[in-house]
């Protein structure tokens, strides 16, 4: 951000007195203080603190921009088609950003909105968490034979490592870690929730992935983060959701030929 200005440029910058409304006068042209204010606000909106040192750097940046812009104008670059195109795009970008900012200012997310969304999250993810394992096979016959082997004493974990078609869990002995039932496809979830701790399915379970042998290792009550912890995330999610709906509404209403 910090630019090193030449002694000549600096001398030209500060040769004339500066009014209260101007940051500086560069080659006889006033540089309004509002430009410094705008850059300061941009940094502050991004979450960066603006202390005296940063403000001094921003002041130097504004002056440097004026010096370079004057030189570009002197060379006639302002009249180029490329410049006009870039200005139009930049102007459009700024205008759109202001539109979205205005929408969000007028459509704030309330505490009640956040609570309602959190309650939905709890309803969807609350209840029991299950630590399960599975072995995924291509055919029902294979699965039935393996169930018989396990009941005769074969190790579930070892069979999963050797034979499971699920490479992720298979390498870990079929372990699917702690999860709620709604994490899995319906057929799998329905069979899993019927099992108690230490129980295995007596018959293979068919899903879109193949045939499963499922074992439940443990069951516990789901531990969910409190509302205060999730509040910023929920607020941002709702803001983005509303903004997306606003954008979609504008697109749908527009007449594009």
Mean pLDDT by 10 residues, the chain (257 residues): 39 45 92 92 86 92 94 94 95 96 96 95 85 97 97 97 95 95 94 96 97 97 91 96 97 94
DSSP state of 80: S
- Residues forming beta bridges with residue 257, ordered by sequence position: none
Indicate the pTM of the whole model. 0.57
Q: Determine the CATH number of domain 122-221.
A: 3.10.50.40
Q: Which two tokens stand for residue 176?
A: 């699917």
The torsion angle over the Cα atoms of residues 190, 191, 194 and 197, rounded to 10 degrees, is -130
- Residues forming beta bridges with residue 216, ordered by sequence position: 132
Q: What pLDDT is stored for residue 19 in this prediction?
A: 53
Q: Where in the chain is the domain with CATH 3.10.50.40?
A: 122-221
SS3 35: helix
- Are 114 and 192 within 8 A, CB to CB? no
SS3 166: coil
């Amino acid at each position: 951000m910090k630019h090193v200005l030449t002694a000549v440029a600096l001398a030209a910058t500060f040769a004339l007195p500066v009014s209260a409304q101007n940051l500086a006068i560069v080659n006889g042209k006033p540089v309004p203080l509002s430009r410094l204010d705008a850059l300061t606000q941009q940094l502050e909106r991004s979450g960066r603190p603006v202390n005296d040192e940063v403000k001094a750097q921003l002041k130097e940046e504004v002056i440097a921009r004026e010096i370079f812009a004057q030189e570009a104008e002197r060379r006639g670059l302002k009249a180029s088609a490329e410049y006009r195109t870039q200005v139009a795009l930049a102007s459009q970008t700024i205008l759109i950003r202001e539109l979205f900012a205005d929408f969000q200012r007028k459509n704030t997310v309330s505490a009640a909105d956040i609570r309602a969304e959190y309650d939905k999250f709890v309803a969807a993810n609350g209840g029991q968490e299950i630590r399960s394992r599975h072995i995924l096979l291509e055919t029902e016959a294979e699965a039935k034979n393996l169930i018989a082997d396990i009941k005769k004493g074969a190790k579930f974990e070892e069979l999963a490592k050797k034979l499971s078609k699920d490479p992720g869990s298979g390498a870990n002995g079929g372990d699917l870690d702690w999860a709620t039932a709604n994490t899995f496809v319906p057929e799998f979830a329905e069979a899993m929730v019927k099992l108690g701790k230490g129980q295995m399915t007596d018959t293979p379970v068919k899903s879109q992935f193949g045939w499963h042998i499922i074992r439940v290792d443990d069951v516990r009550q789901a531990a969910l983060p409190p509302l205060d912890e999730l509040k910023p995330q929920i607020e941002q999610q709702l803001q983005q959701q509303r903004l997306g709906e606003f954008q979609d509404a504008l697109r749908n209403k527009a007449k594009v030929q």
